[in-house]
Structure 1
């Protein structure tokens, strides 16, 4: 039998990943099929395939990851790490999107994060953020 080391039993820190559902790639595939008759109508229109490819890359790459260190926002062309200490709070939009507000009042959109995810962010933050919904208080 293999002997267990203390690292094997160590609890892992909670981590939450918010991303566009993978089923959105079905819509990208459908768009590529719909572009096919037009793309081969005239020479040079094959460049239309760049549209579904770009949307597919956006679906695969865009995400928000929250862990014990902070929030990592990954977009199509970049990545930004927001430590919990740098966050001042969140702003909510009319469409239930969440925007992080930093200490210098800079706003950073959190892709795929909605107001219903705020209790999860509160849990992952380890108490650095209050749960505005009160759902976590009911469980304790």
Structure 2
């Protein structure tokens, strides 16, 4: 059974998951502890304050962008959308350095948790369908010329 699952994962190809780190849940737990004296204090009816940590936890757990060989799977707090690579024209970087996908119909789609530093990874996962604007993946090192001398300690 485990071998079958590993084979299925190998057939999918590369996959990248961009999400909010789970350590953010520690801050939410701390917020819950801080809200408790107010919510359960002498004033009745403040239990609704527990909604804030619950909603934040759902946001952290749910929001993500998954890039695979098939395309992008964008999941927000209230929705989910799959975008195949063929429907993607490119990406746009906003003034706040957020990444938005441009579809073939010229509409834009926000990519939650994807930042400009993730563009080389998106290019790698898309297998070149999305070009890498930074050029990190395509830098070629020029071979050093063999002069018979060591570069660390030149001989005179």
TM-score, normalised relative to structure 1: 0.89
1:66 matched to 2:67? yes
- Greater Rg over alpha carbons, structure: 2
Where 2:139 maps in the other structure, the secondary structure is helix
Runs of 4+ in 1 over 4 A off after TM superposition: none
Matching residue of 2:136: 135
Q: For this pair of structures, how many residues does the alignment match? A: 136
Q: 1:39-78 alignment to 2 at 5 Å?
A: 39-41=39-41, 42-78=43-79
TM-score, normalised relative to structure 2: 0.80
Matching residue of 1:112: 113
TM-aligned CA deviation for residue 94 of structure 1? 2.3
TM-aligned CA deviation for residue 114 of structure 1? 0.3
Q: Is 2:67–2:73's contact at 8 Å kept on the other side of the alignment?
A: yes
1:94 matched to 2:91? no
Which blocks of at least 5 consecutive residues in structure 2 are unaligned? 142-156
Which blocks of at least 5 consecutive residues in structure 1 are unaligned? none
Q: Which has the higher contact order (CA 8 A, sep 6+)?
A: 1
- The Cα RMSD (Å) is 2.2
TM-aligned CA deviation for residue 45 of structure 1? 0.7
